Amino acid sequence: MADLSRRHHPFPEKHERLQPLRLTALSLGHFTNDMYVGFLAPLLPLIMDKLGIRLTAAAALTSVLAVFTSLAQPAFGHLADRLKFSYLAIFGPLITAIFFSCIGLVDSYAMLIVMIVLAGFGTAAFHPQAASLAGKSSGRQNGFGMSLFVTGGNAGYYLGPIVIMAIVTQWGLQYSFIAILPGLLISAFLFWAIPHLPQSIVQQAKQVETNKIPHALPAFIILFCISMLRSFVVSGFNTFIPLFLHERQFTPMMYAAGLSAFGLPGAVGSLLAGSISDRWGRKRYMLFSLAAALPFLGLFLHLPGVYAMICLSLGGFFILSSIPVVIITAQELFPHRVNTASSLVMGLSWGIGGIMVTPLAAFSERYSLSHGLHLLLVVNLLACLLVLFLPETKRV
């Protein structure tokens, strides 16, 4: 009976040990879900040619994606704090897969927006509950567990361009629907690996001891602003890297290679960041990672060929490695509302950052992509300065 009872409690208390099956399933779910989200950016040049739209209209698709994948997350996080079942984490990737895989079938800008909106709801539903499950399945190794979960998402997002470009390069944009298969498989795996909850997350959350961090709300507001600015930088680079390379006459497959050069090292950085921040402290690592990214992202804009790609990779390694540390910090500030806290720094802040890409695209269209990317470096510097005002949430 004891084993059966534990089988039905996917939210272990912090003193329990790491639960590798559940954490692995959630990380693979994050990998698969975000792989589909990564389809849009490398397809933008092809979509622009197919639909005859300009840069600002293409960048607006990124903002639409940001609104419905990110700004909707707090609502799903609030819902997840009250649900008795883990259906959002299980079926979110399936919804994301269905609609993102069909992007190549649409022949109008309006229908493309509809597909992005519907796919966005799938990923918005997945993230808050899955992040909370990952944290609670990590036992005392919260830094490692969240790093593994975030690494799955980062790796998927930046392998997504390679997957979709391999398909459309071989068979054409209209065959993008072939990519639906991984989404079907991962939802089936999650349904098997993650048991249903017999009681609500709210009831479980009340058992968690609240960290005694003074002025938690002001600190969270600062953390949210840091996450928003960092998200703006990352969303801007994700959107403009393919267009920047297209402007320099690179082949379509190199659009995907550029995104992967930015993101895959960041996935490695995310895997290491949680454990390092367990030893260094959250604030110190956050400041280090954001500051270290600045010179390398700047050099990417000025160096030729392989040297530019090396700097892009190093910049991605550092800036993306801050993501799990921000999420852990949010959960440590408000451990009694981990779904909501996670959704705000994973969702709302990313959504606002994504929306800001559209006016940045208008600025870049008037001046140049290079000017727009340089402006993002200034934004990243502001994020570094805000870190100085954060309290330390991890005792080292």
Average pLDDT, the chain: 82
pLDDT in tens, 183-242: 999 999 998 888 654 444 344 444 444 444 557 788 899 999 999 999 999 989 988 888
pLDDT in tens, 107-155: 889 999 999 999 999 998 898 888 878 877 776 666 777 888 888 888 8
Q: What share of the chain in percent tops pLDDT 70?
A: 87
Residue 210: CB atoms within 10 A of its CB come to 13
User: How high is the pLDDT of residue 13?
Assistant: 44
The structure's pTM equals: 0.75
Is pLDDT of 311 > 70? Answer: yes
pLDDT in tens, 20-66: 888 889 999 999 999 999 888 888 888 888 888 887 888 788 778 87
Residue 57: CB atoms within 10 A of its CB come to 15
User: Which range among 46-50, 294-298, 311-315 shows the weakest confidence by mean pLDDT?
Assistant: 46-50
User: How high is the pLDDT of residue 279?
Assistant: 82
User: Which range among 1-15, 54-68, 359-373 shows the weakest confidence by mean pLDDT?
Assistant: 1-15
Q: Which domains are delineated in the chain?
A: 16-387 (1.20.1250.20)
Structure tokens given for 231: 């998200």
Band (pLDDT 50/70/90 cuts) for residue 275 is confident
User: How high is the pLDDT of residue 11?
Assistant: 42
Can you tell me the mean pLDDT for 297-326? 90
Q: Are 312 and 298 in contact (CB under 8 A)?
A: no
Element (H, E) at 117: helix 109-136
